[in-house]
Amino acid sequence: MTLPETRLIEKIKKMAAGTDSRKRLITGIGDDTAVLKRPGGNLLFAADMLMDGTHFNLQGTEPELIGRKALAVNLSDIAAMAGIPLAVTVSLAIPDNIPDDIPLRIMSGLSDLAKEYEVTVCGGDTNIWKNPLVIDVAVIGEATGRGPVLRGGAQPGDHIFVTGPLGLSILGRHLRFCPRLSEAQYLHKNYLLTSMIDISDGLAKDLRHVLEMSGGGATLNRESIPLNRNPDGSECSIDQALADGEDFELCFTVARDAAEILKRDTGYPGGPLHEIGVITPERGLRFADGQEITISGYEHGVR
């Protein structure tokens, strides 16, 4: 296939838009999860598929960590909506030539994380085939407080935060990260978050998703972008922090007054928050010195 993933999604989105016969869809394709209208509170619904060779390497990875990741990426999408995850289905396409304990170890890692985050594994599917392992998790959750936090509400003047350091997830954190659910729920309860996204494709690309939905642009302070460290203790480059995918930290925006209060908030349950920039009326993504940020980030299927 030669069509970039973003173009494919655009085409699928058009087809999907015509299928909402019962008029229950509040937010469809294009946010971290779908939002469906339901009496007694809205439902969040999302799915993520991981493939051997792309999102993990079965050869050389503990199967438990693969299962853990398959659930964690879905929980991260619920976190990006400031929701509560309720239940997941797990579907496995299992190569016919792997030892029997592999799928069970995958499920064991997934189940441990499910218990930790109080999510029910309620169903799914298994198939055996002659191709690499694929694991697909679908999650339902419920919205909290002021309703789900969407990507489209950032306003010029809003301050941009991230929940932790970025870059180099490939060194192992992409398998072991902790979805920022309690952090998101705390922030949503105590502050009016104007937009939020989880950083799956790299800060530059994911922030552009927010800007596409919200309108406007953003200016980032180079020195404020938190950088993960290499094994030798040196910090990764700004480019790596902007481009590397699978950090699964949250990027969110709040109005300036709220930002000032948040920076002094001692009750926040997560690690240090990092204020990295501001939303601008002018389109585009740039550093405070005016230099344009051209990094595109991780595009699935064309790397």
Q: Which residues are near Mg ion by CB under 5 A?
A: 32, 77, 198, 200
Closest CA relative to residue 162, chosen from 238, 224, 84, 78: 224
CB of 137 to Mg ion, least distance (A): 13
Of 42 and 200, which CB lies nearer to Mg ion in the complex structure? 200
Of 197 and 278, which CB lies nearer to Mg ion in the complex structure? 197
CB of 302 to Mg ion, least distance (A): 19
Of 199 and 278, which CB lies nearer to Mg ion in the complex structure? 199
CB of 55 to Mg ion, least distance (A): 14
Of 200 and 228, which CB lies nearer to Mg ion in the complex structure? 200
Q: Which residue(s) pair with 280 in the sheet?
A: 217
Of 32 and 249, which CB lies nearer to Mg ion in the complex structure? 32
CB of 30 to Mg ion, least distance (A): 11
By DSSP bridging, strand 284-287 and strand 217-220 are parallel
CB of 223 to Mg ion, least distance (A): 27
CB of 203 to Mg ion, least distance (A): 13
Q: Following DSSP, what letter does each residue of the chain receive, concatenated?
A: --S-HHHHHHHHHHHHHTT-TT--EEE-BTBSSEEE--TTS-EEEEEEEEEBTTTB-STTS-HHHHHHHHHHHHHHHHHHTT-EEEEEEEEEEEETTS-THHHHHHHHHHHHHHHHTT-EEEEEEEEEESS--EEEEEEEEE--TT----STT--TT-EEEESS-BS-GGGTHHHH----HHHHHHHHHHS-EEEEEE-SS-HHHHHHHHHHHH-SEEEE-GGGS-B-B-TTSPBPPHHHHHH------EEEEE-HHHHHHHHT-S---SS--EEEEEEESS-EEEETTS-B-------TT--
Give the rounded distance of the alpha carbon of 206 from its chain centre. 9
CB of 32 to Mg ion, least distance (A): 4
Of 200 and 214, which CB lies nearer to Mg ion in the complex structure? 200
* Cα–Cα distance for residue pair 253/154, rounded to 1 Å: 6
* Cα–Cα distance for residue pair 106/58, rounded to 1 Å: 10
Of 76 and 144, which CB lies nearer to Mg ion in the complex structure? 76
Of 158 and 247, which CB lies nearer to Mg ion in the complex structure? 247
CB of 193 to Mg ion, least distance (A): 15
What residue number has its CB nearest to Mg ion?
Answer: 32
